[in-house]
Amino acid sequence: MVDRGICRRIDIAQMGGCWMHPATKYACRRFQANVSIGALPPMVIDKGIAGEGPLAHIITNKYADHLPLNRLEGILQRHGVDINVSTMCDWVRDCADLLKPLVKQMREKILEAPRSTLTTRRCRSRAGTARGPLITAICGYK
């Protein structure tokens, strides 16, 4: 063991925070040139610092709550977490790439069902009226 460094990983604990994971560096005692870092905890995005919590939070706010990423950036900054919009865009893109097999499998299940239903409804706005965004869902039945 040569040194003990720190691996940063952003995670949402009380709306923002950073977990520090120790990363042990190893090298041959005779030849200090070949230094390698010990195993780090698995990450959703390779070589990324975002944990599962922030990724789920960003994706849920973007798609389920219809919150633009620039507005989410301001909300996170008020909580002491500084994440750029471009970084969040990259994370959303990487998560979309990871979810492609799941979406493909869901599509196949719906298309192989003998019956399917398309439902469209309007969400309620904050004022309580039915003037919110339209939500469409496709369901397959046996």
Q: Are 24 and 1 in contact (CB under 8 A)?
A: yes
12 token code pair: 């949402």
Residue, of 80 and 35, whose pLDDT is higher: 80
Q: Does residue 85 have a pLDDT over 90?
A: yes
Strands (E), the chain: 3-10, 18-27, 35-37, 115-122, 134-141
State residue 133's pLDDT score: 67
Q: Is the dihedral of CA 42, 45, 47, 49 positive or negative?
A: negative
pTM metric for this prediction: 0.66
Average pLDDT over residues 54-72: 91
pLDDT at 66: 87
Per-residue pLDDT, 9: 66
